[in-house]
Amino acid sequence: MAARVGKDTFEAEVLKSEKPVLVEFYSDTCIPCKQMSPVLGDIEDDYEEQLKVVKVNVNFDAELAADYSVMASPTILFFKDGEEVTRLRGLQKKADIEAVVKILV
């Protein structure tokens, strides 16, 4: 299961990660976010050696969401070498997420 990160751990876990990072900005009350959870779990299992998967709860870390202009949940940001590479918004199919992951890893 993806680790939850917040403002205090975001830099160390995401920006300074040696591996590319998938960051899901989510809300506990968001139905599409709940639907994404098993998909992201599969991605995490399939790419565990090459990709880090973490989550940011927008209710508890609204400032972090604002820093990255996240306006809706779920939003998935992909980071490599400390920089945002791309993002996906809304409910996504596993194949669409994997297409981005395969470019990063």
Which CATH code of 3.40.50.300, 3.40.1800.10, 3.40.30.10, 3.40.50.720 fits the domain covering 3-104? 3.40.30.10
Q: Look at the chain and count its residues.
A: 105
The residue annotated as part of the active site, out of 5, 22, 33, 51, is 33
Domains of the chain, residue spans = 3-104
Q: Residue 21: pLDDT band by 50, 70, 90 thresholds?
A: very high
CB 14 within 8 A of CB 80: no
Give the sign of the dihedral formed by CA 93, CA 104, CA 86, CA 79.
positive
Instruction: Examine the pLDDT at 86 and tell me if it is beyond 90.
Output: yes
Q: Does residue 30 have an active-site annotation?
A: yes
**Is this prediction's pTM over 0.85?**
yes
The answer on pLDDT for 41 being more than 90 is yes
Centroid of chain to Cα 79: 9
User: Catalytic: which of 27, 30, 60, 104?
Assistant: 30
**Mean pLDDT value across residues 16-29:** 97
Report pLDDT for 1.
78
Task: Say what percent of the chain tops pLDDT 70.
Answer: 100
pLDDT of residue 62: 96
